[in-house]
Structure 1
Amino acid sequence: MAGSLVVRPGGVSGPPAKGFEVAYADRDGSEFRRPLVDAWAFRFEDVAPVRAFKSYKGQRHLPGHWWSSTVGGHIGYESWLERDHVMLLDFDPSVVGISSQPFWLFWRSDAGKSVSHAPDHFARRDDGTAVAVDCRPADRRKPRDVAKFEATQTACAQVGWEFRLVGAPDAIAVRNVRWLAGYRHPRAPAGTGGLRAAGGVLRATAADGRGLLGGGPDQGAAGAVPPAVVARADSGCVGATACPLAGVSGGAAVTAGPGKPVLGPGDWVAYDDEDHQVVALAGTSVRLHSATGAESVVLASHLMAAPDFAVIGTEPLPAVEPSGLLATLPEPVLEAAREREQRWRSKPGCCPAPCRARRRAPAMTRPPSR
């Protein structure tokens, strides 16, 4: 397809006389090449890719297809970086159409030679505006590629499109969006309607004073999707890129015991003489966004052990008495253990019995030859 799209109307190939030209193909296979200013209103979100997504042995990038709930079908990508940005576009509630490798853009270089480039993605927003996206890591943008990106940005500006040159997205956001995307697929038991219904269950159980997972007749309806998804369905965060996303490994809150949530996404905390909002939880790490705009990642144990730590707008945290293995022993047993430890330390070259037991086994000798 790419070879035939290079040919201009009338069977003439070569760079445009002036400005930019665009070549694209309809879903039915019809191919067109015309000045960009004459084709700016075309629905490029519905075109066929101008490049095939090929796989071969020894390939350095991994192409494939991502199922998009926005378009109700698969969208191709040439690398995992492109896949992540397709996924983020699909998650953006303002995007109503997405295409991959939507068109070839042609222009004449300063030396008079023909130059072409195909953007990675094209997206249409619900207000009619459009955005063209090129994906390339910052450390892999060669001067020749940068010149093409700059020309593409100029072309987009001429027709009122936004142009984005993007690199690796935020890893936490990608993990969350990929996880949530599974519940937007039709094969998910609940589907979008189920998520909204789950949000209604959450509101109802909160109004009745019952916990969402505390049992009762509504537990089956709420259990159709994980609690973190239900919470996002209720707050409107499902499908909203501006909503802070939490890490989903094992839950969406740090707790001090069964039924006692201490810290969750969206909470404001006092820490290090400043107010911070919890924007993500991943394992034992907490991602904070301060009131002044600074971001930081700290361990949950370090955060809650800080002298000035407090969850703003909630009751004080329960006091936790220090405990350890030795503290649970009776006083006579503890004194005997300390006395024995002191005897071990007072003898040079002596170590506890478990250490002495790990002596090197005698070396095996070779049997005499016959």
Structure 2
Amino acid sequence: MPGTSAGSRRTEFAIVDPELGDRDWASIDPVRVRTSKGVRHRFTPAMYLWQRTRSHVWCESQEERWEVLWLDYGGQVERLWAQPLAIVFGHGSRLSGASHTPDFLAQFTDGTYGLFDVRPANRIDDHAELQFSESANVCADLGWHYRVLTGHDRLATQNLNSLSASRHDRCMPPPEIGAVILAAARDGITRGDLCRVASPACPPLACAWIDNLAWRRLLLLDLGDVFNSDTEFTTSDRALTGAAA
């Protein structure tokens, strides 16, 4: 399995085994390999700001950016790198001699690692199925997770993208106002009413505060529904129990 490290800027090869999987990949700080063609579907590749590490993640397609957005929102991935390594399938593999560059390497909040591939469900053909299956086998040998990300509901994704505009720390409400918002939403309340509760003198001022709490999963809403002033927010269990955002 070849990969590149930031310190040496050279390609390094290693045999897949549990010892390789147990290495501290975060300290290696891998550089993306980028073997795919990119720039597809009229999408200009973009750098997504990964909030947890204040670093950027390269996205080669709009589908990749949407999946990175959902991974960021999910809160289970601590660090994410784009195309930092490649898998060369060896003897015994149905793809012996071929190689594959997974889209993302992730370090999860529990310290474990995993690989992600991004492919819309309607574009997974027999070859892709085989490639993903063999990649999953490699991850099993490494002791890593593996998952193919196949997309989400379009409306839910657009709503989440709207919330993400307020994910930055500058949009966090002052602690005393955040407590008022969470208390008001215990039994459910519309977005419009919640804005008026949080900022009676200027309700629009509260929009970013509410969206920030929703992005941090302290407020719950139905992302699959139309997002407007009538959208209902409810305080999440993790907010009620004092779980960290």
What TM-score do the two structures reach when normalised by structure 1? 0.51
Q: 1:205, 1:212 within 8 Å by CA — same for their partners in 2?
A: yes
Partner Cα separation in structure 1 for residue 148 and residue 94 of structure 2: 25
2:222 counterpart of 1:245: yes
Q: 1:101, 1:121 within 8 Å by CA — same for their partners in 2?
A: yes
Q: Report the number of matched residues.
A: 221
> Which residue matches 1:78?
60
> Which residue matches 1:154?
137
- Residues 326-341 of structure 1: pairs in structure 2 closer than 5 A: none
**Relative to 1, partners in 2 of residues 1:130 and 1:220: Cα closer, same or farther, differing over 3 Å?**
farther
Matched to 2:156, the amino acid is A
Q: What is the deviation of 1:156?
A: 0.8
- Residues 53-68 of structure 1: pairs in structure 2 closer than 5 A: 59-60=40-41, 62=43, 63-68=45-50
Matched to 2:15, the amino acid is P
Q: What is the deviation of 1:49?
A: 0.8
Secondary structure in structure 1 of the residue aligned to 2:98 = strand
**Relative to 1, partners in 2 of residues 1:150 and 1:55: Cα closer, same or farther, differing over 3 Å?**
closer
- Identity across matched positions, percent: 21
Q: What is the deviation of 1:151?
A: 0.6
Q: 2:166, 2:211 within 8 Å by CA — same for their partners in 1?
A: no
Q: CA-atom RMSD, angstroms? A: 3.5
Q: 2:139, 2:145 within 8 Å by CA — same for their partners in 1?
A: yes
> Which residue matches 1:36?
16
Post-superposition CA distance 1:114-164 (Å, at most 9, x none): 111111112222112223111112222232222211110001112222211
Q: What is the deviation of 1:191?
A: 3.0
- Residues 117-156 of structure 1: pairs in structure 2 closer than 5 A: 117-156=100-139
Q: 2:119, 2:149 within 8 Å by CA — same for their partners in 1?
A: yes
- Residues 197-212 of structure 1: pairs in structure 2 closer than 5 A: 198-202=177-181
Unaligned runs of 5+ in 2: 186-192, 236-245
**Relative to 1, partners in 2 of residues 1:126 and 1:147: Cα closer, same or farther, differing over 3 Å?**
same
**Relative to 1, partners in 2 of residues 1:220 and 1:108: Cα closer, same or farther, differing over 3 Å?**
farther
Matched to 1:73, the amino acid is S
- Residues 334-349 of structure 1: pairs in structure 2 closer than 5 A: none
Partner Cα separation in structure 1 for residue 94 and residue 136 of structure 2: 20
Partner Cα separation in structure 1 for residue 35 and residue 200 of structure 2: 47
Q: 1:176, 1:245 within 8 Å by CA — same for their partners in 2?
A: no
Q: Which has the higher helix share?
A: 2
- Residues 177-216 of structure 1: pairs in structure 2 closer than 5 A: 177-185=160-168, 190-192=170-172, 194=173, 198-202=177-181, 213-214=195-196
**Relative to 1, partners in 2 of residues 1:245 and 1:91: Cα closer, same or farther, differing over 3 Å?**
same
Higher relative contact order (CA 8 A, sep 6+): 2
Partner Cα separation in structure 2 for residue 198 and residue 77 of structure 1: 36
Secondary structure in structure 2 of the residue aligned to 1:50 = coil
2:77 counterpart of 1:99: no
Partner Cα separation in structure 2 for residue 266 and residue 205 of structure 1: 9
Q: 1:122, 1:132 within 8 Å by CA — same for their partners in 2?
A: yes
**Correspondent of 1:89 among 68, 71, 74:** 71
Partner Cα separation in structure 1 for residue 85 and residue 218 of structure 2: 27
Partner Cα separation in structure 2 for residue 123 and residue 242 of structure 1: 26
Q: What is the deviation of 1:89?
A: 1.0
Q: What is the deviation of 1:61?
A: 5.5
**Relative to 1, partners in 2 of residues 1:212 and 1:31: Cα closer, same or farther, differing over 3 Å?**
same
Matched to 1:202, the amino acid is I
**Relative to 1, partners in 2 of residues 1:167 and 1:197: Cα closer, same or farther, differing over 3 Å?**
farther
Structure index of larger Rg: 1
Q: Which deviates further from its counterpart, 30-39 or 117-126?
A: 30-39
**Relative to 1, partners in 2 of residues 1:212 and 1:173: Cα closer, same or farther, differing over 3 Å?**
closer
Matched to 1:31, the amino acid is T
Post-superposition CA distance 1:262-287 (Å, at most 9, x none): xx3569xxxxxxxxxxxxxxxxxxxx
Q: What is the deviation of 1:94?
A: 2.3
